[in-house]
Structure 1
Amino acid sequence: MTGKKVHIIDTTLRDGEQAAGVVFSLEEKMQIAALLDKAGVPELEIGMPAISQEEKENIKTLVHAGFSFNCLAWCRAVCSDVDEAAATGAQGVHISFPVSSIHLNALGKNELWVMKKLSEVLTYASGRFSYVTVGAQDASRAGFPFLSDFIGQAVLCGASRIRIADTVGIMNPFSVSKLFTKLKKECPHVPFEFHGHNDLGMATANTFTALCSGAEAASVTVNGLGERSGNAVLEELVMALSLSGNIQPDIHTEYLSELSALVQQASGRVLSDMKPITGKFAISHESGIHTQCMLTDRTTYQIIDAASVGRKEEPFVFGKHSGRTAINRFFSSRGYQLTDKESLTMLCEVKQEAIKLKRSLSESELLNLYKKR
């Protein structure tokens, strides 16, 4: 996959904010957008103008703020939404259409209605935007013959890109690979985007797979923020592409930790300490076997270079699983040279204290243990 180009679309300000109970102020949106711009994300889906006049004004402010990324407004399949989007000055518009029988039945619509609306709304939008993308909502549960017809008609009507949405997160990497292999065989020249939800915990893996199976673009959110269990995670996808897929997205990854912290604060959604890439413990180590090797070569047990994601390397954690090598190195760095007997005694005391407290010890607690002896 070396040399493959992937296009990242961030939808934190649209689909991310659709997470239950999340509301971003305009100031927060501007801060998030500014950091995404610094990170080099080329396209942002910045909101739904039809929500309210305030939302439309916020989108207009973002559009005219001088950022380098392309701004995309999200619309339902109605011409009035396209008008609202055009009024913001957004460079592009995304129009979403239901394509599964489940969604169509719930809306009281059918496939004929979709095809008629597709021609009507895309023709209308093409007169107002040079860049129109089309979303196949709930594509993962749509019948393939209709999905294929939908894609063909969308392209004929001027769609610049087709979003294949796994709206309820039902897919897995195998089904994603199968679908995109089939899509690219039938529609080899159509630019596809994958939009994954995380209901079964596979959104980021599915997005990675889609990009390795023919999709040219992916829409993601910072921290995976989004409805229900969220979306594919920007920072995890970018690092996975780089380190596991040998694909280098044009993203300045040194901003990822700052972005993650900002969105965590603005959304009020607290991240797990074990979250990959930006979680507190993502680059922390306690095990004696691990730390002994890592003193020689940190990559022995850590593939994430802290600086590459805007972090500092974490000092080793001292607790129940620590080893003498790490203990000796810590005290040596503080000017204390322990004898073999002292280091063994300290190691035993550290383990006992960690078991008693049911946690690791801070560096100050470790020093206090030594000084109390």
Structure 2
Amino acid sequence: MAIEKKYIVDTTLRDGEQSPGIAFTLREKVSIAKALDKMGISRIEAGVPAMGQDERRAFEKIKLSCEKAEIVAWNRMNLEDIQASIDCGADIIHICVPASTLLIKEKLRKTNNVILEMIEVCADTIHKANKIFTIGLEDASRADWFFVEQIIQKAKDLKASTIRFADTVGILTPGTCNDFVKKLNTGIDLEIHMHNDLGMAVANSVSGTLSGAKYIDCTLFGIGERAGNCNLEHFLEVLDGQFNFGISLENLRRQQTKLKPIIFKTPSIV
């Protein structure tokens, strides 16, 4: 029997760079992306083109340097963000959609209906550019479930390829993650994005994968905003042999040894 195929979305160059003290030069970003591509990473979240010219230049070079991985651009629900990502040649345009009442009312000062309308406008621009369209549910672990279901239905209607469930503030446990993912198994590919605030990013990612998630967000060494993201090596170690991620642990470790001085700005010992 063939082993079920799952996919890694590496966000070292986006969420990972939000770690305190972590910042990459253009050359370093390209080196990291090329190493990820060689490892067999399916999707590389290469950055946020809307951040400015330097970010766009790096994104374009990453796109040219990678042979197999699909290159993902992260965007707010903003047409200028989306156009910048399209212009950079991104394969996948990812839209971050605030899902919790706290973010919608206090951060954006919008209503749920306005959010749903904004998703439609964004999707139309992405489809016209013939790009893959994915939606991320920001702060989904604290969201009202009825609204989450509305976003998912909207995503399906607009032909989004993937829904990303984000535990943005890192409050889930493996049990609650399992419950959420099973409820999200609604006929659209599911991606999970776990934070490590309670030290459970790997455990939650494992639970979500076993419960049906197809795409799993990870970073090299588990770097990321605040306490970090799911550590790619640790995640693969736990599930070694249970799924086909297309990644050799031996090759991953070899590439990480080369990248460690770049990521942590320490002298190489090899």
CA distance in 1, matches of 2:133, 2:192: 16
User: Is 2:192 aligned against 1:191?
Assistant: no
Q: Deviations over 1:251-271 (max 9, x none)?
A: 02212223333443223278x
Deviation at 1:37, TM superposition (A): 1.3
Indicate the SS of the match to 1:200. coil
- Aligned residue pairs, count: 265
CA distance in 2, matches of 1:2, 1:167: 34
Deviation at 1:49, TM superposition (A): 0.2
Pair member with larger Rg? 1
User: Is 2:266 aligned against 1:260?
Assistant: no
Paired residues of 2:98 and 2:139 also in contact (CA < 8 A): yes
CA distance in 1, matches of 2:163, 2:130: 16
1:248 alignment partner, one of 240, 244, 250: 244
Q: Structure 1 residues 106 and 129 mapped into 2: Cα distance closer, same or farther (>3 Å)? A: farther
CA distance in 1, matches of 2:105, 2:261: 39
CA distance in 2, matches of 1:61, 1:35: 14
TM-score where L is the length of structure 1: 0.68
Paired residues of 1:241 and 1:248 also in contact (CA < 8 A): no
CA distance in 2, matches of 1:13, 1:65: 14
Paired residues of 1:198 and 1:230 also in contact (CA < 8 A): yes
In structure 2, stretches of 5+ residues that fail to align are: none
Aligned to 1:239: 237
Q: Deviations over 1:8-45 (max 9, x none)?
A: 11110111112123111122112211211111111100
Deviation at 1:250, TM superposition (A): 1.0
TM-score where L is the length of structure 2: 0.93
User: Which one has more relative contact order, counting CA pairs under 8 Å at least 6 apart?
Assistant: 2
CA distance in 2, matches of 1:55, 1:38: 22
Aligned to 2:95: 95
Deviation at 1:142, TM superposition (A): 0.4
Larger displacement relative to structure 2 (248-257 or 89-98) = 248-257
Deviation at 1:2, TM superposition (A): 7.4
CA distance in 2, matches of 1:210, 1:259: 26
Q: Deviations over 1:176-235 (max 9, x none)?
A: 111111221xx1x21000000000000111011111101111111011110000000111
Paired-residue identity, %: 34
Deviation at 1:66, TM superposition (A): 4.3
Paired residues of 1:194 and 1:215 also in contact (CA < 8 A): yes
Aligned to 1:128: 129
Indicate the SS of the match to 2:14. helix
Paired residues of 1:91 and 1:129 also in contact (CA < 8 A): no
Q: Structure 1 residues 66 and 176 mapped into 2: Cα distance closer, same or farther (>3 Å)? A: closer
Dislocated runs of 4+, deviation >4 Å: none
Aligned pairs (5 A) from 1:73-112? 73-107=73-107, 108-112=109-113
Cα RMSD of the aligned pairs, angstroms, is: 1.7
Q: Structure 1 residues 169 and 129 mapped into 2: Cα distance closer, same or farther (>3 Å)? A: farther
Deviation at 1:241, TM superposition (A): 1.1
Paired residues of 1:126 and 1:158 also in contact (CA < 8 A): no
